[in-house]
Structures are given as structure tokens and as C-alpha cells.
């Protein structure tokens, strides 16, 4: 009798993990039997430990997962249906250590603490969440946190870890078990991590991380173990380790300097030698402040990982009993679907029970449950779900077993029943249904108990004590950094047009999250100024104030500074234009160190603060907007540190409020009309121990002299005289600072791009056309000569993935998350290039940049189309290999390694994966040409994803840029995609230019990417233009080659047809076969 179904066969046929040709060629005996490779593997192949492809290891999967062995399910079927979603791996882990950079910078004088995790599941369960609890608390201390994880099965979990640590080290390491013999390479990895990073203390999240602790002991590193196991009553655990409880305790104390116990019963169990520190698991009451309304039916739920030992079968038994005993009761199992649950479902569930599946958050799990049940067959050392349920006002019915009685007060916050006594549990259900007021009464009592006895501060204080003891010094709490609000002060005196332009730019580019605006009219003589200013007034964002008479610049800004206390202040001239992230850039510079008092922006026409060339205007390219050009120059300076100078410049200067509090305001007596007041102020700040900086993170456009006109010369002369008298060293310090190496480096960095504004050639394309603009910008925004020169020296270990974005934030987020999930063996950077998307999209990109250190967002603030957008992304990349990827794609497991492999051969210019539509049919597996025009088409597009169409690795003249891997040097030498193509044909043109008509691009079938083609906005609008351009460039230069591929695959094309008949006469129709005939 067959133990597999037609559905199983189809699952294998659709899976990239089953390669029929490989299986048939690898196991020759399959050809003898009259049976398909899929059926052979399901029938007997897996029992012989045969692999279905190089991407799945049958024996390793069965060995690693005893539950799969027990239920005797085909391992690959298990992985496809459940294992992948549970975070299980298709191949065994290697000993290689993968470094994942955290978002926290190491501090030199802080102790280095290594946190060792033992679990990473696809869903967050108790092990991961307890580890996060510890991380949340110790991240409040002045310590550098490093983390180890055994695998990366949950990118979201890993991203949370990264926010609070310096680095994560991912490599496979075993858990303590009987007869274990850890590989030398694994032990060496542990030792290297501790020595290379000067680890002072290690923290093991469970008793099973024995190797880490023994290595630490041998190195003299302090070792802490957080005990979360009740070994006395856990026969399975003792059997796994092969020791009795007393010897396990002795072994643990031998390798540990300090033990932490997560409950009182655990503390007593491990007090054989000395008493562990009590540090219970905790629950944040604020996060579980949930209502618990009672309806006609009362809902009882069990929230778990849905393994047999969690008492799921007991829960179902109770539900069966309550069909008649408590008809008002309804039961829910909340947890992941797996083979065990499906087996229970096949056996039949009672009518009052539903399977709700996995809930993404514990709050979501509890939302529709009135009472929680805890029925574990093993002795829980704490009972996280019990604590969270009570914090959320849910009474608990639980077995009086393990540590649970420490959490539940019988008949006060719930009911405790004898272990495994399902009848007693069912009786408790009946009592609650008969007296529903118990839900509210017990729920409130439970919440009070949790807030009182299990608040996060209890864990924090215990960990603080433990870490201070291990470090031999009192560890301090990190200072709480609050984002300081800033008020942009804009003094106005006449200059109607300039003021209007200034306020429009400020309103457009000033974030309300950290800044508001105060515009102060200093008695303008132009009567139109006042109505103009009030037309911009906006409650809570832009405030307008008017002086009754003209007070002069210095008195006016001092008045404004007083009005906006206690905020920091940015002084901004009314003849300036603000640009994207101008406030954020200045804020980051000022708060980059504690002694920075002021930061001045770079400007285009701001005297000594003009960049790249001082004391003269620096024009932007004609075709570049102010936003685009400022963003480009700031990006060019991103690796430059701020430059210290003795003075700032009032055209755009950020000033800390603390500075005003310490040295006072601007001097109205010496500088009543302005000019010189900021120089004096900054020198006074410098004398008080503060630094003045030029920020490379902010660029402002400045018209100059609008406010003062001809009076300027006299004001400057007066200011210079005063400065010489009050600050004799001022002019010498200015000369030194503005000729420093730091200043020179910043000017050079900006200048490498800025000089292109006047020197780049813009002689292609029709003048005034869209393509003319884009072609110019391709030369003015990107220093191709420098990129070509630097390409051979790029980071050979880094792969740069460039994703051009125009709206569709949901697709973009899914694309990035798929990259982070399925790119585990390569060091990558992900460059998201935004082409003028909506604020919603920009917000998503910013969030992704915050969440993943690999992600960097570049904003163009206008739609520069696919070619130029990708070129700009490439110019900001650092890897020796680059992948261009559409934002409407999702990659799959092991996609990147095979895609990069062909690039090791110089004759190969690029590679594309097996690109599939969401329904699994072929989107592109290479581009072929009919010979009737230079237009290519994706071979076998729309065909089923079968090996006869998509199984061969081979070369083509062209491939698609929806996912295109290349060497950076080749892309730079080609000067990138040609912007003369508007969202179409640019990839074909690039391939033809690089390959010169030869088949130089590889299709890689075992790299699989799904493409939601048609969801990227802006494609297909310029078909006529793009095809005409391609015809002009490549007509009669591209020989037909499609029949060669069809013949090789056993097909013959049957008559060709044009895709757009009206294009035939112009020679720009794309010809492809009407049908393919098998020969």
C-alpha cells in the first residue's frame, strides 16, 4: 500500500528542492523501474537516505528532528508543509561563523558581555522571548553586548537582537547531551569569539550550553548560567544528558561562577553547592493591559508551541468532557500547525474546539480568550504564558506542577488541579461557566499579582547585581537619551520672493517629529510680508510672531530664542532654501558628542562655508532639483567627519539650548544689526569648553544679502573691528581651521561630484527631452571615472544588492525581508534607491534602514527612472559583485550563492536566476532573439516550471535585470544602464554592449526568485520610445538564436507572430513563436 498521495507527488514537482533530472542521473537504478523520480523518492528513496537534490539532505534532516522519525513522514514533505515555516533547515549547518553586525557601537571602557542563545525558531516561543527579556534589561547597562545564535531561522527575531548589541555570531553549536563530542572547529569558534572580542563575561541562557561555559572557564572568563530547567521531575531531560539530577547540578556549578534561577523552585533545586540568584521571568504589565469581556460563550484557550508534552491531548480531552458538562464553554488551541496537530485533527476534534493557528504576538493570542489553561506534562520552571495571561486579566486553570503554583494563587487568580487530572480541570471549567463573574474577579487579582511580583524592574535589578559581581565593579546604567526638540527660527525683513521660497522649502522638508518653526517679522516695511507669513501659519508646526517695530537682527533672534525655550534652536536666514533631512543632519552632528555646541550646514553660497569651493557661488546642475543636488552632495560627504571651526555661520546654524543657558544670548550691544554676532557667540562658546562644527550631513542653498543690501559692507567692517578687540586670536584660528586637513578632505569629497556640474558632457539626447535630462544627470551625479578606477579595489567579500523603488511599500518590504531571510551565507549590503515615492513608502524605507544594518536608503526625491536610479545605487555601493533586483521580487532559500558562482569566470558578464511568476509559472529563464528585429523575448515565459523548460544552466546573449548579478568592474566600465531607455530595454542594451553579441550571460536554474511583474509602477509607458532607440542602436547587429535553444530542448517553433501588429511596419515589433512543437 502506498504511503504517499498524488498531492505529495505534486508538492515535489513544484518544489525547487526536488530536482528530477539530478535524482535520475545520481541514482541510476531509478531508470530501471517504471516509476517517476518523485514517486521513487516518496516510496523508497528517502528510506535509503537518498537526497532529492543538492539543496536538501535527507539523512541530516531526519537525524536532527526526532519528531519526524517518530511520525514516519517523508522528510522533504515534512519540510515543505511544516518544517520551513518552523525554521528548520534543509541542509546541515556548517562550522563557519557568520558575523551579523549589530546597531550598537562598542564603547572602549565598558565590559564586554557575550550572550549565548540556544534556540531560534521561525516563531517566537519561550526560549527566544526569555532571551529577549534578558537582553532588554541588560541593554540598559553600560556594557558592550555580543550575541551568539545557532541558526538564523527568524529574521525578525535576529533584527530585534541586532538593535541592542554590537555583533551577532551565527554558527552551529550543539546542546549538551549524553555522549556528545563537539567538533574541534566549533570549540575553536567559541574560543576565537571570546579572545578576539576580549569577552569579560559570558551568559548562557540554559544549562545546555555547556561548551561555551567550559571554554570560558579555560580562558578565565567569568561564566553565568541562567537555569530554566527543573531536572528532578524531568526524566526526558535526565535521559538526554545521561546523568542524575545531583550530578547535573554539580557539573553546572563546576563550570559556572554564578547561577541565576528563574523561579523559587528552580533556585531550591540548584542550591546543592550554593544558592543561585533569584531572577524570575517577567511580564511587562503595560503591554498586557487588555480588556476581558464576557459574552454568551466563555472562551478557554491553550497557548503553546503545540508539541505533545504541552498537554494538547489533555486539552482536547477536557473539551470533549465539557460538551455536556459545560455547554457554555468554547475551546481554542493557539499555536503553529504541525504534524502532531494535523494528526489530532484527523482523529477528530470535539465540536466546541477550534484550531486558531499561530498568533504573531502574545497579545493577539490572548485577545479572544477569557481563561487560559496550562497543562504541561513536564514540570515548567516558570510558565511564561501563565504570567502573561494573568497580566492580561485572564484567570488560569493549571496543573499544580513545577513553578506554576508560584504564579497562580488557587481560587484567587485561577484554579490549580492535580497533575494530569483532566476531570478536575474540566470541573474548574464548569465552575467558571456557572459563575462567570469569577473571570473578572480572578482576572483583576491575577493582574495585580503580576504587576507586584513579576515586573521587568525585578529582573533588571537581579541582572545588575549579577553582572556587577562578575565584572568586579558596579556597572552603571546607561543615560537615557531623549530626542531634543528644536525650533527653526527665521527672522524676516522684507524680501518677499525669497521669503516665500524659503518658507515653502522649510514647510516641505522640515520634519515635525523633532522640529517646529518660528517666523519672526522684524517690522518689514513691505506691507505684503505680513499676509505672506500668516498664510504659512499652521498650529503646532509654524508660528508667526511680529515685532511692533524694527528691532534689528540681533534683538529679534534673541527674542525668538526666548520664545521657543526650552527647545534647541536653528537660526535660518530667510533667503535660504531648505533641503531634505537638513534638520536631522544638523541634529545628528550636534548630538554626536557631548561637547558640541553648534553645527553649521554646508552651503552653496555662504562665504567660507560654501562647498566645495569657499567664498564663491557653487552652481548646481541645470537639470537637478535643489533636493536632488543637496542629497547627492551630502551622500558624497557621508564618510567625512564634521570639521571643527572657531565659528559658525548664521545663515543656518544649530545651537544647543544648554549653550544659551551657560553663556547667554547674542550680544545686542556690540552687534545690534547683525554680522559678527554669531562669530562672537561661537568664540564665547569655545572659551566655555564647547566645540563648533561644520556638518557634512546638511546642505542649504543661500541667495545672500537679501535682508541687508548695501549696508552689508559697513556692518562687516564694524564686526571685524569688534572681533579683533574682544577675541584677538579669532582671525588666526579661522585661517588655521579653514585650511585644516579635515576641511580639505570634506571639500574634496564634495568636489568629486560637484565639479561634474560644470564639466560633464551633456550632448546626447534631444535637447529639453526627458532623456536629455536623465543623460545629463547620469554624468553630473555620478563620477564614472572614479568608479571605474576604484572598481578593482572594492570589497571582495561584500555583495551589493541594489533595489530601485517607486512606491509599492508593501512589495518593497516583502522583498527586503525575503533577502534577510534567505541570504545567510554571504555578506551583503542592500541599497534601496527611492525615486520620489510617497511619504508612506519613505517611512517604510526608513523603518527598514533602522531595523537592518545591511540596509541603506538613498532618496532622490524625484523619479529618475530605472536606469539612473540603479546607477545612483551602484555609485553608493561597495561590493565587488552587485545584484540589481526589482522591488517586486521575493528571493528563496540559497538563491545568492549559485547566482554568483558563474562570475568567477571572466568570460561571463552576468547571471540571472530562475524567475517565476507568483503562480509558479516561468517569467524569464533567459532572453532569446528571433532575428526579425533586435528585440529579444523571455524564452518559455508562461510555461510550467518544469525542468524541460527551465532545468538547464546555459548562456544567453541577454538576460533580465529584474534580478541580475554582475561584477562591479564590468558595470562601471559600461557606465551602467543607459538612461536613454525609459523603464524598458535598458537591460537588453547593457547585455549587448557588454557581450558584443556573444552569449556571455548565464541562466542559473537552482537560484529561484519570484517576480510580481506588473506591480512595479512606471514600466511599459515608453514602449515606442524604447524600442525605437534599441532599433537605432542594434538593428541588424543581433543574430537570431532562439531556434538553437528550442532545438537543443527538443522543440520546433511553429510560425512566428508580432506582439504588437501596428509596430511591424516600423520594425519594432517583437516576434515570437505562436506555438512550440515537440520533435
DSSP 48-88: GT--SBTTB-HHHHHHH-HHHHHHT--HHHHIIIIITTTT-
- Compute the distance between CA of residue 421 and CA of residue 415 in angstroms, rounded to an integer: 12
Asked which of 83, 111, 134 is the last residue of a domain, the reply is 83
- Compute the distance between CA of residue 579 and CA of residue 820 in angstroms, rounded to an integer: 32
- Spatial contact of 35 and 4, defined as CB atoms under 8 Å apart: no
CA dihedral (8, 1004, 1007, 52) positive or negative: positive
- Compute the distance between CA of residue 485 and CA of residue 913 in angstroms, rounded to an integer: 48
- The pTM (predicted TM-score) of the whole model is 0.65
For a pLDDT cut of 70, what percent of the chain falls above it? 97
Helix or strand holding residue 487 (H, E):
strand 486-492
Task: Report the half-sphere exposure of 334 (CA within 13 A, side-chain side).
Answer: 24
Q: Tell me how many degrees the CA angle 513-518-524 measures, rounded to the nearest 5.
A: 155
On whether both 1032 and 898 belong to a single domain, the answer is yes
pLDDT at residue 1 in the model: 53
On whether both 552 and 679 belong to a single domain, the answer is yes
- Spatial contact of 322 and 331, defined as CB atoms under 8 Å apart: yes
On whether both 577 and 609 belong to a single domain, the answer is yes
What are the cell numbers at 533? 507669513
CB count within 10 Å of CB 704 equals: 19
Q: How many residues make up the chain in this entry?
A: 1079
For residues 93 and 697, the model is more confident at: 697
Check pLDDT > 80 for residue 14: yes
pLDDT at residue 760 in the model: 64
Helix or strand holding residue 938 (H, E):
strand 936-938
- Compute the distance between CA of residue 35 and CA of residue 41 in angstroms, rounded to an integer: 10
Structural domain contains residue 473? no
- Compute the distance between CA of residue 390 and CA of residue 382 in angstroms, rounded to an integer: 13
Q: Per residue in 942-958, pLDDT tens?
A: 999 998 999 999 999 99
Q: Among 253-262, 758-767, 845-854, 996-1005, which stretch is predicted with the lowest mean pLDDT?
A: 758-767
On whether both 979 and 854 belong to a single domain, the answer is yes
Q: Per residue in 314-343, pLDDT tens?
A: 999 999 999 999 999 999 999 988 888 888
Residue 482 pLDDT level (bands cut at 50, 70, 90): low
- Compute the distance between CA of residue 739 and CA of residue 736 in angstroms, rounded to an integer: 5
Q: Among 38-42, 366-370, 482-486, 660-664, which stretch is predicted with the lowest mean pLDDT?
A: 482-486
Residue 710 pLDDT level (bands cut at 50, 70, 90): low
Structural domain contains residue 254? yes
On whether both 75 and 135 belong to a single domain, the answer is no
Strand residues in 917-1000 grouped as ranges (E): 922-924, 927-929, 936-938, 954-956, 963-967
Mean predicted confidence (pLDDT) in 19-35: 84
Residue 152: which region, alpha, beta or left (left: phi > 0; alpha: psi -120 to 50)? beta
Structural domain contains residue 670? yes
Structural domain contains residue 472? no
What are the cell numbers at 1023? 514602449
Residue 483 pLDDT level (bands cut at 50, 70, 90): low
- Spatial contact of 168 and 161, defined as CB atoms under 8 Å apart: yes
Helix or strand holding residue 898 (H, E):
helix 896-900
Mean predicted confidence (pLDDT) in 921-939: 95
What are the cell numbers at 223? 561564566
Bridge partners (DSSP) of residue 914 are 1008
- Spatial contact of 80 and 15, defined as CB atoms under 8 Å apart: yes
Q: Per residue in 760-798, pLDDT tens?
A: 666 555 555 788 899 999 999 999 999 999 999 999 999
Structural domain contains residue 474? no
What are the cell numbers at 699? 546642505
CB count within 10 Å of CB 953 equals: 15
SS3 432: helix
pLDDT at residue 606 in the model: 94
- Compute the distance between CA of residue 68 and CA of residue 50 in angstroms, rounded to an integer: 16
Residue 477 pLDDT level (bands cut at 50, 70, 90): confident
pLDDT at residue 381 in the model: 86
- Spatial contact of 1066 and 1028, defined as CB atoms under 8 Å apart: yes
Check pLDDT > 60 for residue 605: yes
Structural domain contains residue 463? no
- Spatial contact of 168 and 104, defined as CB atoms under 8 Å apart: no
pLDDT at residue 707 in the model: 47
On whether both 830 and 906 belong to a single domain, the answer is yes
Domain extent, residue 31, equals: 6-83
Residue 985, preceding peptide bond in cis (omega within 30° of 0): no
Structural domain contains residue 760? no
On whether both 419 and 444 belong to a single domain, the answer is yes
What are the cell numbers at 369? 480568550
- Compute the distance between CA of residue 554 and CA of residue 547 in angstroms, rounded to an integer: 13
- Compute the distance between CA of residue 809 and CA of residue 818 in angstroms, rounded to an integer: 14
For residues 853 and 699, the model is more confident at: 699
Cα 33 to chain centroid distance, Å, stands at 49
Cell match 537582553: residue? Answer: 135
Mean predicted confidence (pLDDT) in 801-830: 90
- Spatial contact of 496 and 529, defined as CB atoms under 8 Å apart: yes
Check pLDDT > 60 for residue 371: yes
Number of structural domains the chain divides into: 5
Mean pLDDT of the chain: 91
- Spatial contact of 800 and 877, defined as CB atoms under 8 Å apart: yes
Check pLDDT > 60 for residue 1016: no
Q: At 509, which CATH number?
A: 3.90.550.10
What are the cell numbers at 604? 552653496
Packing angle of the helix pair 126-138, 456-471 (nearest 10 deg): 70
On whether both 172 and 230 belong to a single domain, the answer is yes
Helix or strand holding residue 246 (H, E):
helix 245-255
Q: Which residues of 279-308 are buried (b: 16+ CB within 10 A; e: fewer)?
A: bbbbbbbeebebebeeeeebbbbbbbbbbe
Mean predicted confidence (pLDDT) in 7-19: 87
On whether both 974 and 1025 belong to a single domain, the answer is yes
Tell me the C-alpha to C-alpha distance, in Å, between residue 667 and each of 380, 676, 716, 723, 726.
70, 10, 15, 12, 12
pLDDT at residue 159 in the model: 76
Cell match 541530516: residue? Answer: 60
**Exposure of 593 by Cβ count < 10 A (0-12 exposed, 13-18 middle, 19+ buried)?**
exposed
Q: At 338, which CATH number?
A: 3.40.50.2000
Structural domain contains residue 772? no
Cell match 533631512: residue? Answer: 581
On whether both 679 and 810 belong to a single domain, the answer is no
Cα 948 to chain centroid distance, Å, stands at 38
Mean predicted confidence (pLDDT) in 648-654: 96
On whether both 256 and 306 belong to a single domain, the answer is no
Asked which of 258, 278, 298 is the last residue of a domain, the reply is 278
Asked which of 753, 788, 814 is the last residue of a domain, the reply is 753
On whether both 166 and 222 belong to a single domain, the answer is yes
Amino acid at each position: 500500500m502506498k504511503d504517499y498521495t498524488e498531492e505529495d507527488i505534486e508538492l515535489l514537482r513544484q518544489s525547487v528542492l526536488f530536482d528530477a533530472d539530478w535524482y535520475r542521473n545520481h541514482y541510476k537504478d531509478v531508470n530501471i523501474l517504471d516509476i517517476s523520480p518523485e514517486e521513487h523518492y516518496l516510496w523508497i528513496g528517502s528510506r535509503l537516505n537518498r537526497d532529492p537534490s543538492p539543496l536538501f539532505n535527507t539523512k541530516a534532516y531526519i537525524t536532527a528532528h526526532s519528531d519526524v522519525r517518530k511520525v514516519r513522514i517523508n522528510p522533504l514533505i515534512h519540510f515543505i508543509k511544516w518544517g520551513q515555516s518552523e525554521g528548520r533547515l534543509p541542509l546541515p549547518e556548517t562550522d563557519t561563523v557568520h558575523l551579523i553586525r549589530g546597531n550598537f557601537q562598542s564603547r572602549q571602557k565598558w565590559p564586554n558581555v557575550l550572550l549565548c542563545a540556544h534556540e531560534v525558531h521561525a516563531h517566537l516561543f519561550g526560549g527566544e522571548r526569555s532571551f529577549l527579556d534578558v537582553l532588554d534589561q541588560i541593554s540598559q547597562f553600560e556594557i558592550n553586548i555580543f550575541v551568539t545564535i545557532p541558526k538564523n531561522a527568524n529574521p525578525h527575531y535576529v533584527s530585534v537582537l541586532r538593535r541592542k548589541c554590537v555583533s551577532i555570531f551565527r554558527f552551529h553549536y550543539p546542546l549538551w547531551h549524553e555522549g556528545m563530542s563537539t567538533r574541534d572547529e566549533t570549540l575553536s569558534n567559541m574560543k576565537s569569539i571570546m579572545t578576539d572580542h576580549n569577552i569579560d563575561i559570558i551568559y548562557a541562557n540554559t544549562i545546555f550550553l555547556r561548551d561555551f561555559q567550559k571554554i570560558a572557564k579555560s580562558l578565565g572568563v567569568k561564566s553565568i548560567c541562567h537555569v530554566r530547567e527543573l531536572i528532578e521531575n524531568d526524566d526526558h531531560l535526565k535521559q538526554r544528558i545521561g546523568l542524575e539530577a545531583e550530578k547535573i547540578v554539580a557539573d553546572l556549578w563546576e563550570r559556572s561562577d554564578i547561577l541565576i534561577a528563574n523561579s523559587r523552585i528552580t533556585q531550591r533545586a540548584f542550591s546543592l553547592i550554593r544558592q543561585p540568584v533569584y531572577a524570575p521571568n517577567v511580564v511587562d504589565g503595560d503591554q498586557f493591559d487588555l480588556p476581558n469581556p464576557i459574552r454568551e460563550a466563555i472562551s478557554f484557550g491553550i497557548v503553546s508551541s503545540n508539541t505533545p508534552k504541552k498537554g494538547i491531548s489533555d486539552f482536547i480531552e477536557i473539551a470533549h468532557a465539557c460538551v455536556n458538562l459545560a455547554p457554555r464553554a468554547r475551546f481554542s488551541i493557539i499555536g503553529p500547525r504541525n504534524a502532531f496537530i494535523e494528526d489530532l485533527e484527523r482523529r477528530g476534534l470535539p465540536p466546541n474546539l477550534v484550531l486558531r493557528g499561530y498568533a504573531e504576538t502574545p497579545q493577539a493570542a490572548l485577545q479572544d480568550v477569557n481563561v487560559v489553561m496550562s497543562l504541561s506534562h513536564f514540570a515548567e520552571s516558570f510558565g511564561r504564558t501563565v504570567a502573561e495571561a494573568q497580566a492580561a486579566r485572564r484567570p488560569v486553570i493549571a496543573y499544580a506542577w513545577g513553578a506554576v503554583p508560584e504564579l497562580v494563587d488557587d481560587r484567587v487568580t485561577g484554579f490549580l488541579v492535580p497533575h494530569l487530572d483532566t476531570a478536575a480541570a474540566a470541573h474548574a471549567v464548569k465552575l467558571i461557566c456557572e459563575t462567570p463573574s469569577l473571570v473578572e474577579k480572578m482576572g483583576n487579582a491575577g493582574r495585580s499579582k503580576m504587576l507586584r511580583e513579576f515586573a521587568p524592574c525585578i529582573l533588571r535589578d537581579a541582572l545588575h547585581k549579577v553582572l556587577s559581581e562578575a565584572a568586579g565593579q558596579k556597572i552603571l546604567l546607561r543615560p537615557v537619551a531623549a530626542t531634543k526638540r528644536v525650533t527653526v527660527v527665521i527672522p524676516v525683513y522684507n524680501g518677499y520672493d525669497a521669503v516665500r521660497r524659503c518658507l515653502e522649502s522649510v514647510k516641505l522638508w522640515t520634519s515635525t517629529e523633532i522640529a517646529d518653526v518660528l517666523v519672526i517679522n522684524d517690522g518689514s516695511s513691505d506691507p505684503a510680508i505680513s499676509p505672506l507669513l500668516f498664510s504659512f501659519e499652521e498650529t503646532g508646526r509654524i508660528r508667526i510672531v511680529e515685532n511692533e517695530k524694527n528691532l534689528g537682527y540681533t534683538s529679534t533672534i534673541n527674542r525668538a530664542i526666548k520664545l521657543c525655550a526650552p527647545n534647541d534652536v536653528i537660526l535660518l536666514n530667510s533667503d535660504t532654501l531648505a533641503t531634505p533631512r537638513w534638520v536631522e543632519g544638523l541634529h545628528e552632528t550636534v548630538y554626536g558628542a557631548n561637547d558640541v555646541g553648534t553645527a553649521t550646514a554646508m552651503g552653496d553660497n555662504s562665504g567660507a562655508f560654501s562647498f566645495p569651493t569657499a567664498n564663491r557661488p557653487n552652481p548646481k546642475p541645470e537639470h537637478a532639483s535643489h533636493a536632488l543636488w543637496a542629497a547627492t552632495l551630502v551622500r558624497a560627504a557621508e564618510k567625512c567627519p564634521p570639521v571643527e571651526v572657531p565659528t559658525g555661520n548664521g545663515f543656518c546654524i544649530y545651537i544647543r539650548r544648554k549653550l544659551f543657558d551657560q553663556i547667554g544670548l547674542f550680544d545686542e550691544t556690540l552687534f545690534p544689526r547683525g554680522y559678527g554676532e554669531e562669530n562672537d557667540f561661537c568664540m564665547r562658546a569655545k572659551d566655555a569648553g564647547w566645540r563648533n562644527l561644520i556638518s557634512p550631513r546638511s546642505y542649504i542653498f543661500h541667495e545672500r544679502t537679501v535682508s541687508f543690501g548695501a549696508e552689508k559692507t559697513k556692518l562687516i567692517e564694524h564686526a571685524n573691528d569688534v572681533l579683533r578687540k574682544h577675541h584677538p586670536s579669532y582671525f588666526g584660528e579661522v585661517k588655521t581651521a579653514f585650511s585644516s586637513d579635515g576641511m580639505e578632505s570634506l571639500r574634496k569629497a564634495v568636489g568629486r561630484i560637484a565639479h561634474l556640474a560644470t564639466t560633464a558632457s551633456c550632448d546626447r539626447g534631444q535637447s529639453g527631452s526627458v532623456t536629455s535630462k536623465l543623460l545629463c544627470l547620469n554624468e553630473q551625479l555620478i563620477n564614472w571615472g572614479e568608479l571605474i578606477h576604484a572598481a578593482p579595489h572594492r570589497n571582495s567579500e561584500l555583495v551589493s544588492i541594489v533595489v530601485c523603488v517607486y512606491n509599492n511599500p508593501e512589495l518593497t518590504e516583502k522583498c527586503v525581508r525575503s533577502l534577510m531571510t534567505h541570504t545567510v551565507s554571504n555578506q551583503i549590503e542592500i541599497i534601496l534607491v527611492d525615486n520620489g515615492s510617497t511619504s508612506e513608502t519613505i517611512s517604510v524605507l526608513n523603518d527598514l534602514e533602522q531595523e537592518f544594518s545591511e540596509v541603506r536608503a538613498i532618496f532622490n526625491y524625484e523619479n529618475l527612472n530605472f536606469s539612473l536610479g540603479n546607477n545612483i545605487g551602484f555609485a553608493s555601493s561597495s561590493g565587488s559583485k552587485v545584484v540589481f533586483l526589482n522591488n517586486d521580487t521575493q528571493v528563496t532559500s540559497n538563491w545568492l550563492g549559485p547566482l554568483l558562482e558563474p562570475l568567477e569566470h571572466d568570460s561571463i558578464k552576468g547571471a540571472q536566476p530562475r524567475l517565476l511568476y507568483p503562480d509558479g509559472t516561468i517569467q524569464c529563464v533567459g532572453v532569446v532573439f528571433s532575428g526579425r528585429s533586435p528585440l529579444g523575448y523571455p524564452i518559455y515565459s508562461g510555461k510550467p516550471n518544469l525542468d524541460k523548460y527551465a532545468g538547464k544552466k546555459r548562456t544567453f546573449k541577454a538576460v533580465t535585470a529584474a534580478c541580475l548579478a554582475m561584477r562591479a568592474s564590468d558595470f562601471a566600465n559600461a557606465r551602467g544602464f543607459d538612461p536613454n531607455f525609459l523603464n524598458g530595454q535598458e537591460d537588453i542594451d547593457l547585455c549587448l554592449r557588454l557581450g558584443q553579441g556573444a552569449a556571455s550571460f548565464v541562466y542559473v536554474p537552482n537560484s529561484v526568485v519570484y517576480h510580481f511583474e506588473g506591480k512595479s509602477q512606471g514600466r511599459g509607458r515608453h514602449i515606442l520610445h524604447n524600442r525605437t532607440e534599441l532599433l537605432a542602436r542594434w538593428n541588424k547587429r543581433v543574430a537570431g538564436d532562439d531556434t538553437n535553444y528550442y532545438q537543443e530542448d527538443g522543440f520546433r517553433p511553429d510560425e512566428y507572430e508580432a506582439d504588437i501588429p501596428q509596430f511591424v511596419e516600423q520594425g519594432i515589433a517583437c516576434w515570437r513563436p505562436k506555438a512550440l512543437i515537440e520533435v
